[in-house]
């Protein structure tokens, strides 16, 4: 069931962009297991976020991986950390998150259409 329909104008406001993970570390202060992740979005800069993706991804497997993210949310305080964007993923039955990513390498900052 669809919650609410949005207009094309609403959708056009969402800045979904491709970025490459350049660093990931354990987020020890988080209530639920998470990583602090730094991503290069090309001309949109280097941004940081927190992501609860520890069930399927090890830190050493994240560096260099391209992801899709919404980069125009207002910053959000998570514990002692300021999250600057939202990594997109699919929630599985066991609350594990599978990252959404391009199947082919592309330039950082490219818009998802």
> Of the CATH numbers 3.40.50.150, 2.40.50.140, 3.40.50.720, 3.40.50.880, which one belongs to the domain with range 8-99?
2.40.50.140
For the purposes of burial, counting CB atoms within 10 Å of the CB of 42, is it exposed (0-12), middle (13-18) or buried (19 or more)? middle
Q: What is the pLDDT of residues 25-84, one digit of tens each?
A: 999 999 999 999 999 999 999 999 999 999 999 999 999 999 999 999 999 999 899 999
> What integer pLDDT is reported at residue 1 of this predicted model?
83
Instruction: Report residue 100's pLDDT band, with 50, 70 and 90 as the boundaries.
Output: very high
Global pTM? 0.93
Q: What is the pLDDT of residues 5-16, one digit of tens each?
A: 999 999 999 999
Q: Give CA 55 to chain center in angstroms.
A: 15
Give residue limits of the domains in the chain: 8-99
Q: Give CA 44 to chain center in angstroms.
A: 14
CA distance readout (Å), 55 to 91, 92, 94: 11, 11, 9
Question: Buried b / exposed e across 46-69, counting CB within 10 Å, b at 16+?
Answer: ebebbbbbbeebeeeebeeebbbb
pLDDT > 90? residue 24: yes
Do the bridges between strand 46-51 and strand 66-70 make them parallel or antiparallel, or are there none, so unpaired?
unpaired
Which pair of tokens denotes residue 1?
Answer: 């069931």
Q: Is residue 12 classed as helix, strand or coil in its secondary structure?
A: helix
For residue 51, list its beta bridge partners.
Answer: 35
Instruction: Report residue 3's pLDDT band, with 50, 70 and 90 as the boundaries.
Output: confident
């Amino acid at each position: 069931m669809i919650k609410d329909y949005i207009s094309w104008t609403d959708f056009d406001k969402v800045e979904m962009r491709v970025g490459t993970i350049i660093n990931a570390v354990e987020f020890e202060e988080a209530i639920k297991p998470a990583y602090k992740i730094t991503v290069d979005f090309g001309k949109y800069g280097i941004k940081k976020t927190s992501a609860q993706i520890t069930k399927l991804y090890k830190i050493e497997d994240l560096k260099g991986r391209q992801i899709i993210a919404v980069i125009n949310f207002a910053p959000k305080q998570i514990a002692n950390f300021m999250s600057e964007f939202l990594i997109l993923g699919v929630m599985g039955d066991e609350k594990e998150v599978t990252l959404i990513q391009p199947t082919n390498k592309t330039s950082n900052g490219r818009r998802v259409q």
